Every structure is written in structure tokens, then in C-alpha cells.
Amino acid sequence: MFDWFQLANDKENTMVQVRRYLHQYPELSFEEHHTHDYIMNQLSQLSCEVRSPVGRNGIVATFTGRGDGPTIALRADFDALPIDELNDVSYKSKNAGVMHACGHDGHTAILLGVAEIIESHLQSLNGNVVLIFQYGEEIMPGGSQEMIDDGCLQDVDRIYGNHLWSGYPTGTIYSRSGPMMASPDEFNITIHGKGGHGAKPHETIDPVVIMAEFIMSAQKIVSRTIDPVKQAVVSFGMIQAGSADNVIPDSAICRGTVRTFDTEIQNHVMTKLDKILQGLSLANDITYSMDYIKGYLPVNNNPYCSDVIKQAANDINLRYNESELMMVGEDFSHYLKVRPGAFFLTGCGNSEKGTDYPHHSPKFDIDEKAMKYAVSEFLKILELENVFIEPKQ
């Protein structure tokens, strides 16, 4: 039998070096040129077929087996976030205002580690492995759909993805069948009133007060119009109006997010937001504009592929747990619309190492030992999918 954990453990130091290098040179979504070139250089040392650019800036590496096994795709993302890093570590970001605060540097190191182990076991490769290195996950519309449109899933039977997760302890694998992550919508709303002096509010149409009324009314959409056993979130993240304490402004702006798992509920929330604004318009003689942007699809794991993830974790003695429903978004969902597949989380949280800060925090970091667990999970998935078979003696 293959000892995938030992093989992954042997690659740990190499993966740490790769991850720390990428961590020092993060690049924002759709601007990952140096990162792209670094991955290409690493892959050039292997015997896989490499295609790039796929979509705008993606890379697809294919290992072709000798048998009649399936074609399985594995995906990693490699973009960073506009955050100033606060960690005092030797591999701290050298790019001011940019940071790998979500673990994508680790995802890339993991998939490159998988590639090196596949390279050393080509004689056992019964099927084909497609490694997808994706750009632009953090910003809609995301890179996945562009890569799909450019054929990254051509001839692929199933696809699996992984995300390092600081909220779960190192050495654990989390996934679930069916819905797992939500659709992350965005909205931008402007209320246009009539400005004037703060001492004469009766001569104005105060957009600040009306915006406050809108925000309070919007909070009732989830609590009073949606079945309590279903999930939805409406959150406001930005409110902006005025420039002086004694001036009522002409307009007020808000931005926020809606998270849902169901298209019907998604459309319901969007419609309700607009109806509230219509009512405020009639009652207060305002005008308004609403730009509602539907986000990534919900991550919806295929039951068969979810079972493979669970069995793989159990077979290599990792602690498998069913993931909770999560209101975060992931553009891995677009792959799942085209091919069966599943997404799993690899715990990388360790309070003793300070790696339990939330994702997108300026102090986010990963327990680098988690990378070998993700690698061994990926490789065991490939074995269970009959991509690897024991070589004949």
C-alpha cells in the first residue's frame, strides 16, 4: 500500500520553503504575474504537460497515466489580499499593503507538493491528474469561471479542492455532502434627498435619517420574512454621508452583503430590499439607486465525492468532522456546477503557534504542518478514485 502520509511528510520542508517564499511576495487578485511565473518554473522541472495562460492568468498541469482510470482535477488558488501584515516573522510580506491572509500561499505549496509526489510515482498512475492553479479567487467575478470557459475541465471526470482553515485545529479534515458555503452577494445603495443647514431640517429631505430607517427595516427581512429553518444573512459593512456636523447632506450611501444557499431566498432578499426602498421613496420624496451584484454560486458538494473525502481522511487517520454550514463564499462552486466534485477544509489552527487568527486578519498565519495533511488527503483521494494502483511486482 502507498504510505501517502510519509511521502507528504518527506516533502514538508520543501513545501514550507515554497510557501514562505510566496508569502513574502504576495500579489493581488488578477495581478499575480510573479506568482504565475514562479509556479511555471516549479512545474517546468516535472514531466507534466503545462498549459498557460488558461483564462486570464491560470495554469493547468496534466499528468497522464498508463491505464484506464478516471481523470481527476485538484485545484489551488494563489492570489492575496490588500492587507498590511502585522506578523513579526522572517517570511513577512515584502509587498507593502498586500498579504497572504487567507492561506492561498499554502494551497499553492500543497499542490506543488502533490505534483512532485505524482512525478515520483508515474509508474503507478492508472488515470490522469489535472492540477489547476487558479488566480483571482478573492474578487468577483473570480478566476474559476474564466478558466472553465478556457477548457480547464475538459475531459475531467471529477474535481476536488482544499482550503486551509484556521478555525479548525491542525490534523483535522472538515467537509459535508450537499451545501457547504454560501453565495456571497454584494449591494451598493444610494439615497438621494435634499441637503441643507443642520439647524433647519424641515427645509431638507434628510437622507441620513432615511438611510437609518432603511437599515433597520432591512434587518427584518431575515427575521420576519424567511423560514427560520433556512439560512440567510443581510449585513451592512459601510455607511457614508456628509462632511460636516452642521450640514445635512444631499445623499447617503451604504454597502453590504447578502449570504444565501438558495436561489429563491437570494431573489427574495433582493426583491425585499428594493421594495423597502420603494416605500421610503413614496413616503419621503427621495430617489434611490440600488446596484445588486450576485456573487459566486453556493458550494454544493457531490455526495459521492464527499464520501471519498471522508473515507480518505479515515484511511490515513486524520480526524474527519462534518463541516458546519458556512456563510463565506468560494468560487470553487463554479467548478462544481460543471463537474461532480467536493471541497474540504484542512485545519491549520494552533493557538500555541498563534495560527488561530481568523482569515483576512492582518495577523493570519497557518500551522505549516497542516500542508502535509492536505497533501496526503489529496493523494489518498486519487488512490480511492483509482487514479493510483499498486505497481505489479
If you ran DSSP here, which 8-state letter would residue 202 be given?
G
CA–CA distance, 9 with 94 (Å, rounded to integer): 28
CA–CA distance, 174 with 346 (Å, rounded to integer): 7
| C-beta separation of 79 from 135 below 8 A | yes
Amino acid in position 232:
A
333: Cα separation from own chain's centroid: 9
What is the C-alpha end-to-end distance of the chain, expressed in Å? 13
137 is an active site residue: yes
Residues 6+ apart with CB under 8 A from 302: 158, 177, 336, 340, 341, 342
79 is an active site residue: yes
CA–CA distance, 245 with 292 (Å, rounded to integer): 31
Catalytic residue among 27, 32, 79, 383: 79
Catalytic residue among 27, 105, 137, 356: 137
Residues 6+ apart with CB under 8 A from 230: 261, 262, 265
CA–CA distance, 27 with 19 (Å, rounded to integer): 14
Residues taking part in catalysis: 79, 137
